[in-house]
Amino acid sequence: MASCGQIRTLFPVYLDGEAGGAERLILEQHVKECAECHAALESSRATVALLYETLSADRLRKDLTLQVMAHLPEMDTPSVQNHELSQRVKHPEWQGPFGRMRAMLPVFAPMMLALLGVALWVSWSGHEPPAERYAGMVLFQHQPVTSSTDLEPQRHSVHLSDRISAPVRYETGSDGGLVMGLEGNSEIRMFSDARVKVCGARELRLESGSIHCSVGKGERYFRVSTPDGLITVFGTVFSIDVLSDSTLVAVVKGEVQVENANTFIVLGDGEQTEVAPDLKVLTSTKVNVDELTARADKLTPDAAAAKAFYATEQGITPRLFRAEQVFVVETQREPVNAIHFEWKPDPFVTGHAGYDVYVSDNNMHPLFKAHLDSLVFRSKESGSCTVKVPDPAMLAGNSVLHISVLPDYTTGSIETSFTEVAVTSP
């Protein structure tokens, strides 16, 4: 039986999709039985995903072989036998193993210098901060408002009409206020004592405080993460308040999906829910949308800044398709213990998106959620995987299951089209 130390040496090749069949089988069986190795593997997987996202801007985009070879010095190519004989005659001191190594220095020195140059370039570029991406513009600002990044924590003042960049963190003080116009016709209002990390034009992390979001439709859904859960929308108006031990999400108009690690709920007009990490069930209650709207209206975008920002948006017609696949499966009220997914393997080795799976009953009430790891899409030998139902009893009596799959772009942007989704009974 392999030890924990031996198993952990296989983590790099396993996460890169290069492990052999026997190695993969041994590792997967071991982590099923060893909680510590399972936790270590998940930690390594999270680190790989973080590095992939952080260093993506510095990734080498083309092969440098031709450029390196073109700058190597030209070398004569006499026959090997005559060349070695000539060198021995000219340099009798080059006899023995060390002498022969010295004789080969002119051959290997240029190659070593080239490899050293590439290594230094990779090392240097790896310490450069990731390039900031344009995400929008500041449409309203009331001091104090500052910005910073994870690599440069020093705070800088934010002003009207400044560009909004990602990944950048924005903070409002005790009397501060900020309106961000984001690409895709979205506006985010930050109230006082709020902290938001802009990860992209359609991805935010609300670390503290309150925001009000008016999200335009786009190619991809809009996501806001908080310390307590995740909010997903395709285009709607809603508010989020991060409290001391939970997060409150309220919808003014449209539909918003709220989830934690255990479950999820879909909210409609005038509904709100409170989400915390350990909650097993999320419930909705009514909310006064007039109060939410009145609060948001106190932060009004500057007319000149808004005109300048939306002028850049004119003439752009976004493709309004949902980055979501929904399957309806008839179960004939039979018990269900697993869901089976099939797809046609693609030629790509890396860069796949994972998928979040949401299962609802006949009346679209949430039952459970699961996740398809991006690693399963790397294999070209099999285009299928199975998700076990955590509690088959919860699905009993349902004649229809609604299965929704949404891509998780944290691991990559290559999407997978599922050709079939089916369920199995015990």
Residue 277, in any domain of the structure: yes
Residue 318, in any domain of the structure: no
**pLDDT above 60: residue 166:** yes
**Residue 53: Cβ-neighbour burial (10 angstroms; 0-12, 13-18, 19+):** middle
Round to whole Å and give the CA distance between 401 and 390.
15
Domain count, the chain: 4
- For residues 167 and 241, membership in a common domain is answered with yes
Q: Tell which of 126, 149, 166 closes a domain.
A: 126
Residue 51, in any domain of the structure: yes
Range of the domain at 154: 133-313
- For residues 43 and 80, membership in a common domain is answered with no
Sign of the torsion angle spanned by Cα atoms 165, 167, 168, 170: positive
Residue 320, in any domain of the structure: no
- For residues 245 and 263, membership in a common domain is answered with yes
- For residues 49 and 91, membership in a common domain is answered with no
Token pair of 161 as six digits: 């009409």
| Beta-carbon count within 10 A of 421 CB | 20
CB neighbour burial string for 260-282, b if at least 16 within 10 angstroms, e if fewer:
bebbbbbbeebbbbbbeeebeeb
- For residues 139 and 81, membership in a common domain is answered with no
What integer pLDDT is reported at residue 89 of this predicted model?
A: 47
Residue 305, in any domain of the structure: yes
- For residues 148 and 257, membership in a common domain is answered with yes
Residue ranges in 220-262 assigned as alpha helix (H): none
Instruction: Note the pLDDT tens digit of each residue in 315-369.
Output: 344 444 445 688 999 888 888 899 999 999 888 888 899 999 999 988 888 899 9
Round to whole Å and give the CA distance between 24 and 35.
17
Residue 340, in any domain of the structure: yes
Token pair of 293 as six digits: 């709207």
Q: How confident is the model at residue 388 (pLDDT cuts 50, 70, 90)?
A: very high
CATH number, residue 253: 2.60.120.1440
Instruction: Note the pLDDT tens digit of each residue in 191-210.
Output: 999 999 999 989 999 999 99
What integer pLDDT is reported at residue 264 of this predicted model?
A: 93
CATH number, residue 405: 2.60.120.260
Instruction: Note the pLDDT tens digit of each residue in 271-301.
Output: 999 999 999 999 999 999 999 999 999 999 9
- For residues 272 and 394, membership in a common domain is answered with no
Does residue 46 or residue 251 have the better pLDDT? 251
Instruction: Confirm if 193 and 158 have CB atoms less than 8 A apart.
Output: no
Percent of the chain with pLDDT over 90: 43
Model-level pTM greater than 0.75? no
Round to whole Å and give the CA distance between 143 and 164.
16
